[in-house]
Amino acid sequence: MSEATETIFSKIIRREIPADIVYEDNLALAFKDIHPQAPVHILVVPKKPIATLADAQSEDHALLGHLFLTAKRVAEEAGLKNGYRVVINTGDDGGQTVDHLHVHILGGRKLSWPPG
Protein backbone atom coordinates (compact mmCIF):
# COMPACT_ATOMS: atom_id res chain seq x y z
CA MET A 1 0.00 0.00 0.00
CA SER A 2 1.66 3.26 -1.04
CA GLU A 3 -1.15 5.67 -0.24
CA ALA A 4 -3.25 5.96 2.86
CA THR A 5 -6.88 5.06 2.62
CA GLU A 6 -9.52 7.44 3.93
CA THR A 7 -8.67 8.04 7.59
CA ILE A 8 -9.63 10.26 10.47
CA PHE A 9 -6.46 12.24 9.75
CA SER A 10 -7.43 12.95 6.15
CA LYS A 11 -10.80 14.18 7.44
CA ILE A 12 -9.03 16.45 9.95
CA ILE A 13 -6.79 17.80 7.16
CA ARG A 14 -9.92 18.64 5.13
CA ARG A 15 -11.59 20.14 8.24
CA GLU A 16 -14.43 17.61 8.14
CA ILE A 17 -13.65 16.63 11.74
CA PRO A 18 -12.66 19.23 14.35
CA ALA A 19 -9.22 19.10 15.93
CA ASP A 20 -7.13 21.32 18.18
CA ILE A 21 -4.72 22.42 15.44
CA VAL A 22 -1.48 23.99 16.66
CA TYR A 23 0.39 24.36 13.36
CA GLU A 24 -0.25 24.17 9.63
CA ASP A 25 1.67 24.82 6.44
CA ASN A 26 1.30 23.61 2.86
CA LEU A 27 2.84 20.18 3.62
CA ALA A 28 1.86 19.31 7.19
CA LEU A 29 -0.68 19.74 9.95
CA ALA A 30 -0.07 19.41 13.70
CA PHE A 31 -2.80 18.90 16.27
CA LYS A 32 -3.23 17.73 19.85
CA ASP A 33 -3.83 14.00 20.30
CA ILE A 34 -7.32 13.26 21.64
CA HIS A 35 -5.89 10.43 23.81
CA PRO A 36 -2.72 12.04 25.19
CA GLN A 37 -0.04 9.78 26.62
CA ALA A 38 1.89 12.70 28.15
CA PRO A 39 1.01 16.25 29.28
CA VAL A 40 1.97 17.38 25.77
CA HIS A 41 1.05 14.96 22.98
CA ILE A 42 0.88 16.45 19.51
CA LEU A 43 0.65 14.65 16.17
CA VAL A 44 2.32 15.96 13.02
CA VAL A 45 0.83 14.52 9.83
CA PRO A 46 1.78 15.06 6.21
CA LYS A 47 -1.01 16.33 4.00
CA LYS A 48 0.15 13.85 1.38
CA PRO A 49 -1.52 10.50 2.18
CA ILE A 50 1.22 7.98 3.02
CA ALA A 51 -0.08 5.00 4.99
CA THR A 52 3.08 4.11 6.95
CA LEU A 53 6.74 5.01 7.11
CA ALA A 54 7.38 1.69 5.35
CA ASP A 55 5.34 3.01 2.40
CA ALA A 56 7.39 6.21 2.00
CA GLN A 57 9.32 6.42 -1.25
CA SER A 58 12.60 8.12 -2.15
CA GLU A 59 10.54 10.95 -3.66
CA ASP A 60 9.25 11.64 -0.12
CA HIS A 61 12.67 12.43 1.37
CA ALA A 62 12.08 16.19 1.51
CA LEU A 63 8.63 15.68 3.04
CA LEU A 64 10.02 13.35 5.71
CA GLY A 65 12.68 15.92 6.62
CA HIS A 66 9.99 18.58 6.73
CA LEU A 67 7.97 16.48 9.20
CA PHE A 68 10.94 16.31 11.58
CA LEU A 69 11.69 20.02 11.31
CA THR A 70 7.99 20.71 11.88
CA ALA A 71 8.07 18.47 14.97
CA LYS A 72 11.04 20.50 16.27
CA ARG A 73 9.21 23.78 15.68
CA VAL A 74 5.97 22.56 17.25
CA ALA A 75 7.84 21.21 20.29
CA GLU A 76 9.57 24.57 20.75
CA GLU A 77 6.24 26.41 20.42
CA ALA A 78 4.73 24.02 23.00
CA GLY A 79 7.45 25.05 25.46
CA LEU A 80 9.21 21.68 25.68
CA LYS A 81 12.53 23.19 26.78
CA ASN A 82 13.66 20.18 28.86
CA GLY A 83 13.27 17.72 26.00
CA TYR A 84 10.67 15.59 24.28
CA ARG A 85 10.28 12.32 22.43
CA VAL A 86 9.49 11.95 18.72
CA VAL A 87 7.92 8.62 17.75
CA ILE A 88 6.67 7.09 14.50
CA ASN A 89 4.73 3.86 14.98
CA THR A 90 4.79 1.69 11.85
CA GLY A 91 2.44 -1.21 11.18
CA ASP A 92 0.46 -3.40 13.58
CA ASP A 93 3.47 -4.67 15.54
CA GLY A 94 4.76 -1.10 15.84
CA GLY A 95 1.50 0.04 17.40
CA GLN A 96 0.21 2.13 14.49
CA THR A 97 -3.56 2.57 14.82
CA VAL A 98 -4.28 5.02 11.98
CA ASP A 99 -3.09 4.18 8.46
CA HIS A 100 -1.74 7.66 7.77
CA LEU A 101 1.90 8.40 8.57
CA HIS A 102 2.15 10.54 11.69
CA VAL A 103 4.82 11.75 14.08
CA HIS A 104 4.06 11.81 17.81
CA ILE A 105 5.62 14.58 19.92
CA LEU A 106 5.50 13.59 23.60
CA GLY A 107 6.70 15.77 26.46
CA GLY A 108 5.91 17.81 29.49
CA ARG A 109 7.22 15.17 31.92
CA LYS A 110 10.20 12.86 32.33
CA LEU A 111 9.68 9.95 29.91
CA SER A 112 10.93 6.47 30.79
CA TRP A 113 12.75 3.95 28.63
CA PRO A 114 12.12 1.43 27.24
CA PRO A 115 8.61 2.29 26.10
CA GLY A 116 5.76 -0.21 25.82
Residue 112 CB partners (closer than 8 Å, separation 6+): none
Report which residue type is found at 35.
H
Instruction: Evaluate whether 111 touches 64 at the Cβ level (below 8 Å).
Output: no
104 is catalytic: no
- Which residue in 41, 100, 102, 104 is the catalytic one? 102
Instruction: Evaluate whether 44 touches 103 at the Cβ level (below 8 Å).
Output: yes
The pairing of beta strand 40-46 with beta strand 21-24:
unpaired
Catalytic residue ranges:
102
